[in-house]
Structure 1
Amino acid sequence: MQLDRFDRQLLNLVQQDSSLAAERLAEQVALSPSAIQRRLRRLREQGVIVRDAAVLDPAQIGRPNFFIVSLEVERERPELLAQLRAWLNEQEHIQQAFYVTGEVDFVLIVTAPHMEAFEALMSRLLQENANVKRYTTNVALGLVKRGLNIPVPLDEAE
């Protein structure tokens, strides 16, 4: 999909705050509110904008703990990886899962209200996924930065 400068500006703005009304976006992008709405609809229909979400304060909702988990699998057969990916996608405590290069196969970002909930999830992971060889965990001591924004250069050449 070809993105012009207006699309790129919009994408940067809605990543910062997807609740902005078309009128407010129009003030910053120099297009009419109706043109903004058409562009946003097109960007959603074409899969550039995958979804809109609210960013919550984990401590305010009882989910203050973050765990970074590295998984190593026994065999990298496609059907076994697909099964593990499906299982990871179903787990609400797993916020992000990356298939990576290097010494481990997956890196997970997990949130849980307390250590017992995290341990229960990891126990189920091993019980329900025989192909998982081992995992290691890093406990986040503090949150320095959290986000999903992808910088969108205003010009294609950037």
Structure 2
Amino acid sequence: MLDDRDRKILDLLQADAGISVSDLAERVALSVSACSRRIQRLEESGHIARRIVVLDRKRMGVPTTVFALIKTAHHSDEWIETFRRAISGIPEIVEAHRLTGNQDYILKIVLPRVEHYDVIYKQIVRKIELFDVSASISMEILKSGSAIPVGYAD
């Protein structure tokens, strides 16, 4: 069971995974050792899945975002696993979701420029049969991040 301090620790770590334990402890009003034990417990319980570094996409040369919407005529477990393997080897595909509604999948693809989308498209269709693929180019990022709300956790 998480308490308010655990939630505050999780929230602060989401904002900056590199925060020192002493700074974190001060911000949640705990001793360094007590804070360290809580972090370890949160990792062991699986509340903290991993700690990552967020890179600047422009400096990394991939400022363009394309969302590819995919329809398929296949829905078997075998096809889904083949699709998963096909996209997992393409680093430009940073997110993939199976959807309800008119589309079956959406891929978030980061690219150096929009023209590079054709390279990624060809990599996908060489590996797996798709019914329809349409792409939308992100014009502006209005909100971005990987932080999730901590208030719902038990």
TM-score by length of 1: 0.89
Q: Note if contact 1:93-1:112 (Cα within 8 Å) is conserved in structure 2.
A: yes
Is residue 2:33 matched to residue 1:34?
yes
* 1:120 aligned counterpart, secondary structure: helix
**2:141 alignment counterpart:** 143
Aligned residues: 154
Give the aligned residue type for 2:108: I
Deviations 1:22-41 (A, max 9, x none): 11111111111122222222
Flag the 1:42–1:62 CA change in 2: closer, same or farther, 3 A.
same
Answer whether contact 1:69 1:107 (CA < 8 A) is retained.
Answer: yes
What do the CA deviations read for 1:19-62 (whole angstroms, capped 9, x no partner)? Answer: 10111111111111122222222222332212212222211221
What TM-score results when the alignment is normalised by the length of structure 2? 0.91
Please give the per-residue CA displacement for 1:108-149, whole angstroms capped at 9, x wherever unaligned: 11101123432111111011012x211111101122221011
What's the RMSD between the two structures over aligned residues?
1.7
Partner amino acid, structure 1, of 2:131:
K
Aligned residues of 1:14 and 1:20 also touching (Cα < 8 A): yes
The 1:155/1:96 distance shift into structure 2, 3 A limit, reads closer
- The farther-off stretch of 86-95 and 147-156 is 147-156
Gaps in structure 1 of 5+ consecutive residues? none
Gaps of 5+ in 2: none
